[in-house]
Homo-oligomer: A and B are copies of this chain.
Amino acid sequence: MNKSEIFEDDLQDLARFAKVISHPARLAILKFLAETKTCISGDISDYLPLSRTTVSQHLKELRSLGLIHGEIDGLKINYCLCQTSIKNFVQLFDLFFEPIVSNSMYCNTVECIIEKNDTEIVSSEKID
User: Are the CB atoms of A24 and B49 closer together than 8 Å?
Assistant: no
**A contacts with B, residue count (CB < 8 A):** 64
Which residue of the partner chain, among B8, B26, B108, B115, contacts A38 with CB atoms under 8 Å? B108
Q: Does A4 interact with chain B (Cβ within 8 Å)?
A: yes
Q: Are B27 and A23 in contact (CB under 8 A)?
A: no
Copies of this chain, tallied across the complex = 2
Within 8 Å by CB of A83, from B80, B106, B126, B127, lies: B106
Task: List residues of A whose CB falls within 8 A of some B CB.
Answer: 3-4, 6-8, 11-12, 14-16, 18-19, 21-28, 30-31, 34, 37-38, 49-50, 60, 63-64, 69-72, 77-78, 80-84, 86-87, 90, 93, 96-97, 99-101, 103, 105-112, 115, 125-128
